[in-house]
Amino acid sequence: MIDGAIRHILKRHHDMQEPAFVDVKEYYDKHLDPDVIDLTNQDVYENIFHNGKWAGVFQFTEKGAQAFCKRAKPTSIIDISAITSIFRPGPLSAKVDDEYVDAKENPQYIKYIHPIIEEITQETYGFLIFQEQIAILAHKLGKNLSIDEGNKLRKLLTKKGTGKGHEDKMKIYAKFIEGCVEKGIRHDVAQSIWDKFEYFSGYGFNKSHAVSYSMLSYQCAWLAYHYPVEWMAAFLDKEPESRKEKAINIAKGFGFNIKKLDINTSGRVWEISEDGHTLIQPLTSIKGLGDAAIDQILNNRPFDTVENFLFNEDITYSKLNKKAVDVLVRSGAMNGLVDTRFSGLKHFWSAVAVDRPRKNKQLEDNIELYRPEGDFEEEELIQYTVELTGVFPMGEVMNRGIRQKLEDKFIPPIGEFDPELQLTWFIPRKILPRKTKHNKEYWVVEVIDDTGHTTSIKCWGVNSNRDILFLNRPYMAKLDYHPTWGYSTRSIRHNFRLLS
């Protein structure tokens, strides 16, 4: 994604049409290398990490990490490192996340047992977050305890059992306690510090590893802040097929327009419009359309008519074959070539793709033969669009009339859910049947809205013979919400209403 974003930056701001890797590296070295990038830019922290503009930001693609980061509000690389180190099963189960946020918000209440402890743990607000802190504390608090012995202790504490390792640990323990007492720390307090070492070893994280990863996170955030459209295009390019729809909804939620596929304007990667507000979906996002077919399109366009596309002397049709034409039509990429001779897209599809003509005369015959077919049903169009492109046609499903009614009644999309109001709207995309431990049926319904929000609703007490839920259709519903368990309802029949 970093490479892709830099290529877009070089194209849009440095007049390089086809940046080479050496150009990308030169830009990286000048602006993003850890030795030159400004790691103290609070605009980056506030805009991205505090406000939750996460698109593609490394280590912050999951909702739990995002929510914790927004609470913790990092202002430095060490803060990011601490957040990502805490957001793991061990620290979370010990509620370190809650304690860390509280300490960070109220540093005046942190009590340090000794100035050395303050020196080593002040950057993590009094908490032992990193393994290296154990090594340094043991070295500085112990009596004649070398840094190598401190590092050995760090390693030993992550290993259980007795034997030589246990003996080494006890020798270090004796030096540690003796040194603490000499420095004015009571024996019982020194013991409690050692106990914290042992407790912490169950979930401590390597600082050098955490900082290295956090540097990548900050580089992503720097690009997302300074070059939001270039970063978003790179994000959309690199997200896998399984997350494409969610990525596109995120882009829409950031206020970007998504231009539909078009054989005359779509390229190999996500392109950016001249005004910087529109992202143009690439032909490579059409499932079933190979690179060879794309090459034939890009090398021979623009196409003014369907004849120019079907009977072009410069096109190798063994590469732009019937299957390619089929997915191009059903994905909507050839809508610009549908003229007044066709009664609808299904008519166009049958005449051009299903019964692929080889000559002008055959095309003319097909136009007459398939004229009664008209257009696809709305559900067919939605299914083809989602199946072949990963883009949900929100504008076609949520017409202006439905949207106006919801706005008039102040009913928000689920991405802006108000727990007090409870009423919201969304579009179901998938139903996942489940069973409770008592063998009672319930559904997990995956839904989307026009804010780019994708989430799920647990529907309890479901009877599959009685409860009906239409996919790809807008619903209004009254939902319960819990910060831990998310959205739920006790009755689809009573709480869901289909909008039409």
Q: Based on the domain organization, do 244 and 194 belong to the same domain? A: no
Out of 323, 346, 378, a domain closes at: 378
User: CA 156, 207, 218 angle in degrees (round to 5)?
Assistant: 160
What pLDDT is recorded for position 200? 81
Q: Based on the domain organization, do 185 and 55 belong to the same domain? A: yes
Out of 378, 409, 442, a domain closes at: 378
What's the pLDDT band for 159 if we cut at 50, 70, 90? low
The phi and psi torsions of 413 (rounded to 5 degrees) equal -70, 165
What is the number of domains present in the chain? 3
Q: Based on the domain organization, do 287 and 372 belong to the same domain? A: yes
Q: Is residue 392 part of a domain?
A: no
Domain that holds residue 289: 239-378
Q: Based on the domain organization, do 161 and 92 belong to the same domain? A: yes
Average pLDDT over residues 172-180: 96
Q: Based on the domain organization, do 67 and 187 belong to the same domain? A: yes
What's the pLDDT band for 383 if we cut at 50, 70, 90? confident
How confident is the model over 254-271, as pLDDT tens digits?
A: 889 988 899 999 999 999
Q: Based on the domain organization, do 432 and 323 belong to the same domain? A: no
What's the pLDDT band for 166 if we cut at 50, 70, 90? confident
How confident is the model over 61-119, as pLDDT tens digits?
A: 888 899 999 999 999 999 999 999 999 988 888 899 999 999 999 999 999 999 999 99
Q: Based on the domain organization, do 432 and 365 belong to the same domain? A: no
Residue 161 has pLDDT above 60, yes or no: no
Q: Is residue 405 part of a domain?
A: yes
The total number of residues shown for the chain amounts to 500
Q: At what angle do helices 244-253 and 228-238 cross, to 10 degrees?
A: 170
Q: Is residue 221 part of a domain?
A: no
Average pLDDT over residues 150-177: 83
In this predicted structure, which of 7-21, 151-165, 233-247, 315-329 has the lowest mean pLDDT?
151-165
How confident is the model over 435-482, as pLDDT tens digits?
A: 998 899 999 999 988 776 789 999 999 988 889 999 889 999 999 999
Helix H segments across 358-453?
A: 360-369, 378-389, 394-397, 400-408
Q: Is residue 437 part of a domain?
A: yes
Average pLDDT over residues 332-351: 96
* pLDDT, the chain, mean: 92
Looking only at the bridges linking them, the beta strands covering 278-280 and 423-435 are unpaired
Record the tokens describing residue 66, joined without a space: 């995002």
Q: Is residue 487 part of a domain?
A: yes
Q: Is residue 284 part of a domain?
A: yes
Q: Based on the domain organization, do 94 and 145 belong to the same domain? A: yes
What's the pLDDT band for 374 if we cut at 50, 70, 90? very high
Residue 201 has pLDDT above 80, yes or no: no
Residue from 225, 231, 244, 298 nearest 268 by CA = 298
- Give the CATH number, domain containing residue 468: 2.40.50.140
Cα(146)–Cα(314) distance, integer angstroms: 76
Q: Based on the domain organization, do 50 and 189 belong to the same domain? A: yes
Record the tokens describing residue 252, joined without a space: 């829409």
How confident is the model over 393-416, as pLDDT tens digits?
A: 877 788 888 988 898 889 999 988
What pLDDT is recorded for position 164? 65
Q: Based on the domain organization, do 404 and 374 belong to the same domain? A: no
Q: Based on the domain organization, do 267 and 302 belong to the same domain? A: yes
Q: Based on the domain organization, do 372 and 244 belong to the same domain? A: yes
What's the pLDDT band for 21 if we cut at 50, 70, 90? very high
- Give percent above pLDDT 90 in the chain: 75
